[in-house]
Structure 1
Amino acid sequence: MDWISTVVNGALLGGLYGLFGLGLALVFGVMRVVNLAHGEFIVLGAYAGFFLVGSMPQLPPWVMLVPVVVLGYWAGWLLQAGVVNPALKSGDPLTPLMLSFGLSVILRNGMVALFGADSRAVDGGALTRAGIDVFGLRLGLYPLLVLGLALLLFGGLQWLLRRTEFGRIVRATADAPEVARLMGVAPQRVFNRVMGLSLAFAAGAGFLLAQRSSFTPFSGVERMLIAFEVVIIGGLGSFWGALAGGVALGIAQLVGQKFDSNAGSLYAHLLFVLILMFRPQGLAGARK
């Protein structure tokens, strides 16, 4: 029963890890861009939630998820419109990659200057401490809700891209931007909204994780590594694959902690290496 509990809790943690990778998979799938500052925006979402919760203690902490996500969306929109789109005009795929790397360094040092290097966490209140019994297993209510939210967001994004006019425009722009331009679509405006969605997911995931563990301005590197591994394990550009990759990483981490309490993350990274060795296209296969 103890092992079953470990696997189940690992899967619940993996739902949150999947959200880390969702925005990264979206940007890569549409623009073929790897945003190396993704981890820093996850941490910025945690800081935004921290200060919002502290400024309005009379409201339930989970309510602040909405303004955090909205702030993340507009940060992504402005980032794409003002920084990434001009870099994409060069036609060199290394230009936006190196630009995002430089941005990650600037954001990390900027957070240290503004907020200091002390670790912080968001007090999620009674919700994060509540639990329910399921078939003899004691499960945290908060991780269950986060997994449910992850499933809802993954399903909602899939519906948005497959069943709506906006989704058809995004897919057409991803497959053939020049052809889409001839049909009256402005690819740069589409990219603005896609990056907005990506960083909205990142900021929301950062705020959700901040209610489970502490963070510092330097936590972005670890968050980016998790997001990258989630996307690679799931398959580049695959949304449901990213969720499966997150669940796999979460289980590997908690199972690893059963063997060595100080090396749980090591087992998750080993899983990543094994996937690269034996199935480099990922669980769902790479997007063509």
Structure 2
Amino acid sequence: MTNQIIQGILLGGYYALIACGLSFMFSVMRIINLAHGSLAVVAAYLIFVLSEKAHLPLWLCLLVSVAVMAVVGWLIQRLILERSARSGQLLPILSTFGLSMVIDNTLFEQFGADTRSLAGAIGDLSWDSWELPGGLFVGKLPVIIFATAVIMLAALQLMLTRTKIGRAIRATAEDPDTAGLVGIDARRVNATAAAIALVTVTIAGLFLGMRATFEPYSGAPQLLFAFEAAVIGGAGSLWGTLAGGIILGIAQTFGASVHPLGFLIAGHAVFLVILFTRLIFPDLALLPARILRMGGAS
């Protein structure tokens, strides 16, 4: 049981990593980006091409991809989300759904159905592990992913609370009209927030390629896991996203130990139970985040 809990917590770190950009965009712009998973796959392919074709070191591939995807996020906000938002709250969601379809099919046309992986670029790190007391083993890569998720969530939280752009983002999220009265350009702030969200997506795409294989239609399951983690932790709560990812990861790990199909079923079941519980008891929405704060995580 101890091993399952540890593995579930580490798996939850990846889910928090993939979900934090989704949660961040929702908290700032109240938009559920249905192209989130597809964009993570785009980032994985971009890093793969730079590594395999251009023969760049992985750290440089990441830096280039972060810059490119930040620009992509800026353009998506300016050209798609901002314009579609003028027609109501539903159209931006439908726009991101259409964007995901375009991305998935474009990737299929360019790369085919073959799976890709970044495991070859990291050597032994893809399978190496540390031995803990009691004969337990933890993979080095899952630990790195979990640590990266915590660092990234902490960085986003500090950015939102301690920097000028962070305060502008929070003010715009609360009331864009009032924020405009004090000199905040809501269009620029939202575009910057979208660029930041795509930076987190790029990092998630890097670890997606490291820990597993990916193909053009891998975006849908990544979106599903990200959505479930974000909802379990409380949509829009950064630390809640970490808690939600851990809860989802532990549920899936225990489910897999019962039955091979239990990996997905247990995760979906926990998600549905928490979702319906929140509909009945709305005050429980941010409980996971509060637990983390009580433990000193924030």
Please tell me the TM-score bracket, short chain as reference: over 0.9
Task: Tell me the TM-score normalized by structure 1.
Answer: 0.93
Find the aligned partners of 1:43 and 1:231 in 2 and give their Cα distance.
Answer: 19
- The answer to whether 1:84 aligns with 2:81 is yes
- 1:99 to partner: Cα distance: 0.8
Superposed displacement of residue 98, structure 1: 1.0
Q: Which amino acid aligns with 1:64?
A: C
Q: CA deviation at 1:261?
A: 2.0
Match of 1:71 in 2: 68
Distance verdict in 2 for CA 1:72–1:142, change over 3 Å: same
Deviation of residue 58 (structure 1)?
6.6
- In the alignment, structure 1 residue 261 sits paired with structure 2 residue 260: yes
Structure 1 contact 238–286 (Cα < 8 Å) conserved: no
Paired position in structure 1 for 2:247: 248
1:210-229 correspondence runs (5 A): 210-229=209-228
**Given that residues 87 and 96 in structure 1 are in contact (C-alpha distance below 8 angstroms), is that contact kept between their aligned partners in structure 2?**
yes
Q: What's the counterpart of residue 108 of structure 1?
A: 104
Aligned mates of 2:252, 2:116 — CA distance in 1:
23
| Distance in 1 (alpha carbons) for counterparts of 2:224 and 2:78 | 26
In the alignment, which residue of structure 1 is the partner of 2:141?
Answer: 142
Q: CA deviation at 1:49?
A: 1.6
Tell me the TM-score normalized by structure 2: 0.90
Aligned pairs for 1:21-40 (under 5 A) are: 21-40=19-38
Q: What's the CA shift for 1:51?
A: 1.2
Say if 2:97 is the partner of 1:98: no
How far 1:76 sits from its partner (Å)? 0.5
Letter matched to residue 144 of structure 2: L
Aligned length: 283
Which consecutive residues of structure 1, in runs of 5 or more, have no partner in the other structure? none
Partner of 1:174: 173
Q: Structure 1 residues 286, 84: CA separation in 2 closer, same or farther (over 3 Å shift)?
A: farther
Distance 1:240 1:159 in 2: 12
CA contact (8 A) 1:72 1:201 kept: no
Partner SS, residue 33 of structure 2 = coil
CA deviation after TM superposition for structure 1 residue 283, in Å: 5.1
For structure 2, list consecutive stretches of 5 or more residues without a partner in the other structure.
290-298
Q: Which residue of 2 aligns with 1:16?
A: 14
Report the AA paired with residue 114 of structure 1: Q
* Distance in 2 (alpha carbons) for counterparts of 1:74 and 1:197: 10
Measure the CA separation in 2 of the matches of 1:175 and 1:83.
22
> Residues 243 and 288 of structure 2 are in contact (CA less than 8 Å); yes or no, is this contact kept in structure 1?
no
Aligned counterparts of 1:104 and 1:63: Cα–Cα separation in 2? 27
Match of 1:4 in 2: 2
